[in-house]
Chain A
Amino acid sequence: MSLETATSSAGAAQASAPTVVPGPVVRRWPLRGRAGTWAGFALILLLAPLVFSSDLSVSMLSQIGIAIVACLSFNMLLGQGGMLSFGHAVYTGLATFVCIHALLGIASGAFPVPVSLVPLIGGLAGAFFAILLGYVTTKKAGTPFAMITLGIGELVAAMVLMVPEFFGGEGGVSANRSVGKPFLGITFGPPLQVYYLTAFYTFVCTAAMFAFTRTPLGRMLNAVRDNPERVEFIGYSTQRVRYFSFIIAGFFAGVAGGMYALNFEIATAEVVGAGRSGLYLLFTFLGGATFFFGPIIGAILMVLSFTLLSELTKGWPLYLGLVFILMVMFAPGGIASLVMMNVRLAAYRKLSRVAAWYPALLAAALVMLAGAAALIELFYQIQLGSGNETHTSVFGIGLDTQSQASWIGAVAVLLVGYALFELVRRRFGRVWGRVQEEIEAQVAAREGR
């Protein structure tokens, strides 16, 4: 997507100490290159189910599409507008409920629209609720904004359980997506058909959200993030900039909610819950709020960790928490910023000097991870494990909660790993700093300072 640091949304609201400040733009992203990126994205969406063709993989691919749209719309607030929302699931979730009812309406013949338009109905629902609730939310920025989103999230979650006529109470509401007249034999019964509909909406929404970053409102949203006070003195109402952007983000969140309804054919109280809102935040941040494409990485990770990591270990939320903490501490720009820092080095032909350290860093990190994983698994076995089972294993090594050797071994591996990592990291830090200085010098020379 965009390489231009200036136009990409910079920085999560709370990421107060970015380790590396993005430098001056190396070159304008050539138009052909950008068209190529989009063509590649479309091709991946088209071909992915041919490579990952099992029913489970196709369902995962659909979920990734949904998560991409949801996280990108969340990042419109966080990364581009500096608005930390704890209640984004309100807009995806309420749209899911509306879409389930739309499907029911289609089935009963009361609401004759094609099933393929259901995500669009979700978008309108999302925008509607953003107009309604966002008016209050966007009156404030910063911490009050975050607090209000939290409050509204709780309010909506409580309401969902209190109005079972519409929301179905604990059990939720379910519908059937293969209703209405088939169009050219497309019934949306098979997961693959739903995938391609999802992929289509994912592509269009991603393109539209990227386009938004290049419009006057999109740019003023960045300005509001950087310095709301000054915006008021160049003719703009910060409140309106936030409100209008919030509605647009609500629309795309709603599209994601509509796609969710088609994929899962059920809406429960969980879809509007604080847990889901937290996931959007967590994975958008992990992927990288600083760059437009960051949330796409985050969305892929979200689905992978939910489906694959949960197969691997029951204690996966503990790992997730650990990764999140490390990321906030060491790479507040998320994975996208790590990628872009390396791209920048490559552009100055200095990547190889730095990359030579990566295997060592990785090895040390793996040792540390092994120790941490052993501890996590041991704790997990004690706290939540089934019955009197004391055995568990990490990387195929048997561990026993009753055995001192297991505990001491795990702690020792963790400490050795940490020591190694620190050692390598410090040396790496020096090399990194030197390379950055050289680049700065080159830039300064070119600007003729």
Chain B
Amino acid sequence: MTTIREEMWKFRGILFNFAMTDLRIRYKNSVLGVAWSVLEPLLMLAVLFFVFSTMFKNEIEHFPIYLLSGIITYNFFKNSTSIALESLSNRSALITQIYFPRSIPAISSVMTASIMLIVELAVLGCFMVYFQFTPSITILYLIPIYILAFVFVLGIALGLSVLNVKYRDVQFIWGIILHAGFFLTPIFYEFGMLPEYVQNILQLSPIVQIVEMVHHVGIYGTLPSIISVLYSVGSIFTILVIGYLIFRKYQARIVEEL
């Protein structure tokens, strides 16, 4: 374990460099630049808000904030995994020329997405002020929840980064999963609106658990049930271990596949 830590410390320059370059290149040649990382979820919010407050009316209280917090949390999941997916395959030129730990691209992708998350959370804060919404003290629990989310996406990112080199169809499959996940996660509806048997299935998804926890502590000022917390922690760490094992299986020879 110490050797991994030492190696990470030695290569921290590359780690931060990748994260920053990902951000910079993401908005290259765009007039609005980094503002897109804020505009994207806001436009998404505008569309969903329009659809679900005019065409399909619902009675969710604080709907704009409910909607935005869900979008932001899901975006973190989507951004980090989709950047990580291509992080190794896009760097083929670099990886065949110099050595660095193969986990660095995946980790830096999650860091890039984390920076975007922080910016988006600031926007959520502005929203709360604008709608004169006073969150209860439980909102501080967002910190451990997002740390948990970080662990969750890190596990997926590690696995996806090597799998996408091995099998290029992983990117298409993952695209569909992300798309389906958006609708199967309580972002623009409340979980309780779903029929019970659907709830029973969907609550197995860690991202559903995370978004629900964000709603609990951020909007309702309540705590999620102990069972769902335990389940989330257990399943997320299992995913981290699986992701790491997949990564470890392929990492040594991944260069030859590029």
- The answer to whether A binds B is no
